[in-house]
Amino acid sequence: MTPIFDTHAHYDDEAFDQDREEMLSSLAMHGVAKVCNIGAGIESSKSTLELSRKYDWMYCALGVIPGKCSEINDESWEWLCNAAKEEKKCVAIGEIGLDNHWDDDPKEVQEHWFIAQMDLARQLHKPIVVHSREAAKDTIDIMREHKASEIGGVIHCYSYTKESARDFLEMGFYFGIGGVVTFKNAKKLAEAVRYIPMSAIVLETDCPYLAPTPHRGERNYSGYLPLVAEEIARIKQIPFEKVVETAWYNAHSLYKIDIL
């Protein structure tokens, strides 16, 4: 069977502090061959970078999520720019974007650092990992205005309509699909997944969050991704192996990683 690439994980999260090494060592037994661990702030990006250096099969994205942008200062911004430029394991800038659900950062602060980090990705020829929650129109408008189609990347934990999916598809973006697609109340997402071509879908966990049914509410991890692939296969009425194989190639294309 084709191996699985978890394109969005947070194994640096404290939820894994008690058994991180054992958990990561077990992934191969579940068919998971590669993981991209995603930074969600300056400190998270630092721990993410260290973690990716420990495992040959782990890559990382470095970035500051909305909600943490107010923490950025001249020193931390310089570190982020230099680390993203110099570190070979860094394959993307993220996660970055807009979040209208939480109000930890003012809207103008979120937008400023979303644009600044998009510009960094453009300079470094790296894709972006976009976090967008309850902010579809604002996200699309900013991405269009700043020509995100020239940068490329993935809409992480896609949760919007098929109409919004059309806008992101026009910009050439991939869609990260995870455990939410298995939830009974995810009818809007199921409709979007049915619409989005398999050539634009990658698998992700966002672990330790958003574990798929029947593990909803538990700590998530990459070993649950076959459940996500099974649901995508059911929705799109295609073979499970087709989902896994296509997502594997898409993940490498997204992060510009050679398939060895």
pLDDT tens readout for residues 153-174: 999 999 999 999 999 999 999 9
Q: Give residue 106's pLDDT.
A: 87
Helix ranges (DSSP H) in the chain: 20-26, 42-54, 74-86, 107-124, 136-145, 162-170, 187-195, 225-236, 240-255
Q: Residue 222, Cβ neighbours under 10 Å: how many?
A: 25
Q: Which domain holds residue 85?
A: 4-255
76-95: per-residue pLDDT in tens? 999 999 999 999 999 999 99
Residue 124 belongs to a domain: yes
Q: Is residue 215 part of a domain?
A: yes
**Cβ atoms of 205 and 199 closer than 8 Å:** no
Flag residues of the chain having pLDDT under 50: none
Q: In angstroms, how far is CA 138 from the centroid of its own chain?
A: 19
| DSSP state, residue 238 | S
Nearest Cα to 231, choosing from 152, 188, 178? 178
Report DSSP state, residue 223.
Answer: G
Token pair recorded at residue 47: 């721990």
Task: List the CATH number of the domain containing 114.
Answer: 3.20.20.140
Q: Does 179 reside within a domain? A: yes
Domain count, the chain: 1
List pLDDT tens digits, range 179-206.
999 999 999 999 999 999 999 999 999 9
Residue 101: per-residue pLDDT: 85
For position 105, what pLDDT does the model report? 83
* pTM of model > 0.75: yes
Structural domain contains residue 94? yes
Half-sphere exposure of 7 toward its Cβ, with a 13 Å CA cutoff? Answer: 35
> Is residue 152 situated within a structural domain?
yes
What pLDDT, on a 0 to 100 scale, did the predictor assign at position 104?
76
Task: Examine residue 260 and state whether it is found in any structural domain, yes or no.
Answer: no
Dist. CA 188–CA 70, nearest whole Å: 33
What burial letters (b/e) apply to 168-207, b meaning 16+ CB within 10 Å?
Answer: bbebebbbbbbbbbbeeebeebbebbeebebebbbbbbbb
